[in-house]
Amino acid sequence: PEEYNPYGVDPTKPMIALTFDDGPSKHTWAIVDALKSHNARATFFVLGNRVPSYQAAIDNLLANHNEIGSHSMGHANLAKLTTEEEIAAQIRPVDEALQKQHAYTPKLFRVPYGSKNDQVLAVLKAEGKPYIGWSVDPRDWDVKDKNKVVNHVLANVKDGDIILMHDIYPSSVDAALEIVDTLQAQGYWFVTVEELLALNGVAAEPGVLYHVIG
Ligand code: ZN
């Protein structure tokens, strides 16, 4: 079969995945446009209860070949929920909303707060969702400082990393754009998590955690 590489990534170069949690927000459109102008893509782990308010931003995101992952309906701490049904109720409606409104089903899931237990992983497995973690965390939500975020990422990044950020803070938007500028000049490609997995020959399994690829 033909290899998966729809956007002409040079596989001899380092690849990383920017990921943005807790959106969409009023800042998502600006990130997507900036990524587009750099031939870069990212993955947005959205909250289902925000999807109806940002339909145009989501359409723009998908039209420019970014990826949507699920980050639950309402950012519940899934490890604190009691039953499998309660956990599934944080997962299924996100897929249903995206399918109904955008003809799109997210393949990947990121657990809110990184909080999981055996029951959470069992439900993710049953729902067919690999669990995507991260390998670089600039704590953008905490520092809210563009330079600190940029410096943390530049000091820690390597081929195959998944970078955790949030598209709900202006400082994070500015940081992401500077990170793309700087690392592209060093030869990095910015790909979706799906691309990062596929270009490294990894078939992600439901209920399994991935935090760095390759
Ligand atoms: Zn989150």
pLDDT at 202 over 90: yes
Contact 63, 100 (CB under 8 A): no
What's at 210, amino acid-wise? Y
| Catalytic (active site) residue 27 | no
> How far is 102 from 83, CA to CA, in rounded Å?
30
Distance 12 CA to ligand 1 centre (A): 32
Ligand 1 midpoint to CA 64 (Å): 23
Instruction: Supply 35's token pair.
Output: 């990524």
Could you say which of 22, 27, 166, 167 is catalytic? 166
Query: What are 82-122's pLDDT values in tens digits?
Result: 999 999 999 999 999 999 999 999 999 999 999 999 999 99
Q: Distance between CA atoms of 153 and 48, rounded to whole angstroms?
A: 28
- The whole-number average pLDDT for the span 65-86 is 98
Query: How far, in Å, from the CA of 176 to the mean position of ligand 1?
Result: 17
pLDDT for 1 beyond 50: no
Rounded Cα–Cα distance for residues 37 and 149 (Å): 22
- Number of residues written out for the chain: 214
- Ligand 1 centroid distance, CA of 7 (Å): 28
pLDDT in tens, 147-170: 999 999 999 999 999 999 999 999
Give mean pLDDT, residues 135-145: 97
Is position 181 annotated as part of the catalytic site? no
